[in-house]
């Protein structure tokens, strides 16, 4: 009888029944920031709803705001990651930029979605964090995304060729030299691409002591109910929050905190956004 029970138990584990449950991520908080000072996407409410839904399903907490005053050292300390959700233009003043630089230097995470690359063009720290700035885009259309990294939590669930409809950014520079590219666009499958055979559309990197993840997808409202895109976003968030390790490159030395002899990049700038 014992032998029969042992055989049945082994079979259940083999097919996945009775197997130990995967450990849940530790509880953590995420700040979702969607302030715009330029173009405003009508998908912002859908994006916030999607992130709140992912939080409810997966045991983390989302605070959503468009108040740049949330970027203080004390407030940011409560979050494992900050999502720049469809932001645009100059959205933080000098003091808020400095607080965010310190947050990243202390091990914080950054998630940039779509027009996060159309944000803070005059802030060098942010340019390195997002990886590449927006240049142009063609009309919304269907295209093929080529997944380069099938192990990262934001792309492991995707097919090698992911066909979807979105607004597809061209970037001023190619981020590949500084970031780990997760997926590229196949420009032969749509019209209006300007970057050629190597057109990154999602990437990640350790940055100045923290972690950065960016996706150029997510323009459309429909994106935020699409299971593959939601899982893409959630995987990027888990990496940025530090709960899902991934090979995004060697970690550079942390940025020192501000001092009279070693100022952060935003120090001394005039207040430009409120």
Give me the CATH number covering residue 204: 3.40.50.880
Q: What integer pLDDT is reported at residue 25 of this predicted model?
A: 87
pLDDT at position 21, please?
Answer: 38
Where in the sequence is the domain holding 91, given as residue range(s)? 26-241
Cα separation, 105 vs 56, whole angstroms:
29
Regions of the chain with pLDDT less than 70: 1-23, 250-274
d(C-alpha 100, C-alpha 56), whole Å = 26
207 falls within a domain: yes
Q: How many domains does the chain contain in total?
A: 1
112 inside domain: yes
Residue 16 lies in a domain: no
pLDDT at site 23: 62
pLDDT value at position 40?
Answer: 96
Task: Identify the pLDDT of residue 245.
Answer: 87
Distance CA 223, CA 218 (A): 6
Does residue 7 sit within a domain?
no
Specify if 20 maps to a domain: no
Q: Does residue 230 fall inside a structural domain?
A: yes
**Position 247 in a domain:** no
Q: Residue 202's beta-bridge partner residues?
A: 183, 215
pLDDT of residue 253: 38
d(CA 212, CA 112): 8
- Tell me if 163 is assigned to some domain: yes
Strands 109-113 and 210-215, by their bridges, are parallel
Alpha-carbon distance of 158 to 151, in angstroms, equals: 10
Q: 82 burial class (0-12, 13-18, 19+ CB within 10 angstroms)?
A: buried
Check residue 24 and give its pLDDT: 79
């Amino acid at each position: 009888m014992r032998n029969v029970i042992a055989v049945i138990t082994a079979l259940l584990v083999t097919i996945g029944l009775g197997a130990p449950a995967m450990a849940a991520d530790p509880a953590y908080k995420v700040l979702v920031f969607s302030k715009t000072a330029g173009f405003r996407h009508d998908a912002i409410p859908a994006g916030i709803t999607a992130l709140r839904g992912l939080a409810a399903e997966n045991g983390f907490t989302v605070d959503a705001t468009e108040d740049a005053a949330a970027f203080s050292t004390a407030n940011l300390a409560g979050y494992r990651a900050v999502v720049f959700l469809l932001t645009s233009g100059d959205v933080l003043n000098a003091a808020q930029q400095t607080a965010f630089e310190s947050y990243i230097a202390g091990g914080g995470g950054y998630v940039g979605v779509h027009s996060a690359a159309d944000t803070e063009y005059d802030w060098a720290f942010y340019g390195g964090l997002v990886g590449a700035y927006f240049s142009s885009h063609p009309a919304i259309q269907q295209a093929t995304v080529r997944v380069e990294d099938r192990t990262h939590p934001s792309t492991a669930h995707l097919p090698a060729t992911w066909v979807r409809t979105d607004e597809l950014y061209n970037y001023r520079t190619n981020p590949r030299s500084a970031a780990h590219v997760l997926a590229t666009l196949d420009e032969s499958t749509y019209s209006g691409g300007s970057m050629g055979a190597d057109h990154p559309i999602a990437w990640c990197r350790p940055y100045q002591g923290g972690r950065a993840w960016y996706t150029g997808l997510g323009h459309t409202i429909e994106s935020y109910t699409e299971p593959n895109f939601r899982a893409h976003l959630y995987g990027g968030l888990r990496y940025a929050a530090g709960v899902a390790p991934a090979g995004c490159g060697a970690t550079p030395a942390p940025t020192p905190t501000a001092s009279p002899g070693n100022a952060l990049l935003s120090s001394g700038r005039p207040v430009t956004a409120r």
